[in-house]
Amino acid sequence: MCGIVGYVGTSNGVPIVLEGLQRLEYRGYDSSGLAVAGSSGLKVHKAKGRVSDLKAALPKRIKGSPAIGHTRWATHGAPTDHNAHPHVDFSGRFAVVHNGIIENAPQIRERLVADGIEPRSETDTELIAHLIGQAAVEHDDPVDALRTALRRVEGAYGLAVLDAQHPDRIVVARLGSPIVLGLGDREMYVASDVGAIVRHTRQVVHLEDGEIALLEPDGFTTSTLDARPVQKVSELVDLDDEQFDLGEHEHFLRKEIGEQPEAVERTLSGRLDERFSTIKLGGLNLEPNELRSFKRVYILGCGSAYYSGEIGAQLIEELARIPATAEAASEFRYRNPVIDPDGLYIAVSQSGETADTLAAVEELTRKGARVLGVINQVGSAIARANNGGVYIHAGPEVSVASSKSFTSTCVAFAMLAVHLGRIRDLSPADGDRLIQALRDLPAKIAAILEQEDAIKEAAEWLAQYDSAMFIGRVRGWPIAREAAQKIKEVAYLHAEAYQSAELKHGPLALICETMPVVAVVPDDELNEKQRSTLHEIKARSGQILAIGHESFPEDLAERTIVVPRTEPELDPILLNIPLQLLAYHAALALDRDIDRPRNLAKSVTVE
Ligand code: G6P
């Protein structure tokens, strides 16, 4: 969703901010803007559409420092030039960019109008600019003015502010929406996502909720909303700039699908403990006796994270024999859930920022539950809100549609399930069997990726239809859901996921020659039952693409993609890989905007 980049230092901030904004494009946005403060005041430019549209609209000679920029994903007000950030206050002194949502915006607007200030846009952000302008009448210092303004604001924000009267400063604040500072040599950076600035510096400081920072070329100072000074320690981020580049690829989604063997290696790295036939997970912060005491596991996440949680729940039930379920975090938080005192709660999120998942964790923590995270983004809001957890270390994921983080999350769940199992009743022999299978996953994923030509051909066939049915059973069911979602997200094809056995209770009526069926059919204990379903589909002229193992009978499906065998519990991890490529190639055949699907955002930081 929205993104922030800022620069203050001795170089020209404009290209740095523009390039940073392009790094944030993947988060999803519909307009962008930039402001520079100089001796002649503020210069502000905005454009609907892509950052390239903003670049095209900029005067050739614009340059300077400090500069701030923003990519906006519309919430309050349509995606127009007018509503794009930065917003300037009534006095023309302050320019503000903002991520998040101000909940008392209607009340603030009313007060401002009563004070004779007529907002020019429909945004909540412009209101913050005016509040800062009003506060500056009494407090000339921009930090004090921002602090005073924020006392009147309810909601979530990550903010960066330029002050025309101090054209060597940026003031930033954070409450519920990430802000990271980057330290350079006589220069400072700020961003909502470290990926936007990692090219320039890897020395960073994460602001905490309720903190304000003043950035000047020579350094920064931090304080709280109630004016207490805070000492911050910088850290070195372990990220390569290359990970944010397309390299030889046309799309991040394809690049990231291809990175899965290495991503899974990283997820497994240092965690397979052959000596005790178990998995070592250093970040759980729970003693074995505590882990034994949980009677149920509840997994929460949104989108692909939720579906990976469904696979996680199955793995935990199968391997640790603890009842486990997954639920959409967005539903959970609003149904006033009963908190199970004997339950272990697990929040899943690639970004660690998803608002609904974060709110679910906060609700759980407030009610005293134990919450672990399965998260990609180290140090993210959800990671910090948990009691501990497992980082998946998949590396940065830029494509909106998740691929490597989905796979690595499933691998992390498999490891957690073995760990929980081994302190309960999973035998050492089963521990060894699964450890070996986990170790072999990267090579098997690589082997699946080699079948790309056959998968591409199947995708081009699928792309001819308006609608498709994805079916699976038990282990294959979350995979069918994830695959249907992926086809919707990137190919904009209508796709419905159904449990194979449920088909005959309704959707079988849809099956005909124009409704292709993609069936996830592992050679497991349910294979025979699945085959019966496929016969029922065939009998109704349904066309089938089967994803299964080499034992799959050739005449049962028009097309078959065969994945290597692993241990049955881990089958879903491999069965999903061809389905990622299927969605990618269907989207390619249909000429979709694959990395930036319409209406979607990578990190959904609003409810
Ligand atoms: C958005 C993305 C999905 C993603 C979901 C959860 O909806 O478009 O691809 O699965 O958020 O994201 P998270 O970062 O919490 O895993």
pLDDT digits over 189-231, tens only? 999 988 899 999 999 999 998 999 999 999 999 999 999 999 9
Measure the N-to-C terminal CA separation of the chain; round to a whole number of Å: 12
Distance from the CA of 572 to the center of ligand 1, in angstroms? 19
Average pLDDT value for residue range 68-78: 87
The C-alpha atoms of residue 216 and residue 167 are separated, in whole angstroms, by 10
Ligand 1 pocket, residue 350 CB under 6 Å = yes
Query: Hey, which of 377, 602, 607 would you mutate to test ligand 1's pocket, going by the most ligand atoms within 8 Å of its Cβ?
Result: 602
Query: Hey, which of 330, 332, 350, 406 would you mutate to test ligand 1's pocket, going by the most ligand atoms within 8 Å of its Cβ?
Result: 350
Q: Is the pLDDT of residue 186 over 90?
A: yes
Ligand 1 pocket, residue 401 CB under 6 Å = yes
Token output for 375: 């998260």
Distance from the CA of 559 to the center of ligand 1, in angstroms? 31
Query: Hey, which of 256, 299, 354, 357 would you mutate to test ligand 1's pocket, going by the most ligand atoms within 8 Å of its Cβ?
Result: 354
What's the pLDDT band for 598 if we cut at 50, 70, 90? confident
Q: Positive or negative CA dihedral for 328, 330, 336, 338? A: positive
Ligand 1 pocket, residue 305 CB under 6 Å = yes
Model confidence over 310-353: pLDDT tens digits?
Answer: 999 999 999 999 999 999 999 998 888 899 999 999 999 999 98
Q: Is the pLDDT of residue 459 over 90?
A: yes
Closest alpha carbon to 393 in 385, 401, 379, 43: 379
Ligand 1 pocket, residue 357 CB under 6 Å = yes
CA 94 to chain centre: 31
| Residue 58, pLDDT score | 93
Q: Is the pLDDT of residue 241 over 80?
A: no
Distance from the CA of 465 to the center of ligand 1, in angstroms? 26
The C-alpha atoms of residue 571 and residue 445 are separated, in whole angstroms, by 11
Query: Hey, which of 307, 397, 402 would you mutate to test ligand 1's pocket, going by the most ligand atoms within 8 Å of its Cβ?
Result: 402
Ligand 1 pocket, residue 308 CB under 6 Å = no
DSSP for 391-423 reads E-------SSS-SHHHHHHHHHHHHHHHHHHHT
Q: Is the pLDDT of residue 238 over 80?
A: no
Distance from the CA of 486 to the center of ligand 1, in angstroms? 11
Cβ(579)–Cβ(484) below 8 Å:
no
What's the pLDDT band for 539 if we cut at 50, 70, 90? confident
CA-closest residue to ligand 1 atom 1 = 602
Model confidence over 11-64: pLDDT tens digits?
Answer: 999 999 999 999 888 777 889 999 999 888 999 999 999 999 999 999 988 999
| Residue 77, pLDDT score | 80
Distance from the CA of 361 to the center of ligand 1, in angstroms? 16
Ligand 1 pocket, residue 354 CB under 6 Å = yes
> Which helix (H) or strand (E) is 132 found in, with range?
helix 125-138
Closest alpha carbon to 577 in 495, 531, 520: 520
CA-closest residue to ligand 1 atom 15 = 349
Ligand 1 pocket, residue 380 CB under 6 Å = no
Distance from the CA of 349 to the center of ligand 1, in angstroms? 7
Share of the chain above pLDDT 90, in %: 79
| Residue 39, pLDDT score | 84
Average pLDDT of the chain, as a whole number = 93
Distance from the CA of 574 to the center of ligand 1, in angstroms? 21
Model confidence over 131-183: pLDDT tens digits?
Answer: 999 999 988 899 999 999 999 999 889 999 999 999 999 999 999 888 999 99
> Which residues have a catalytic role annotated?
2, 602
CA-closest residue to ligand 1 atom 9 = 401
What's the pLDDT band for 426 if we cut at 50, 70, 90? very high
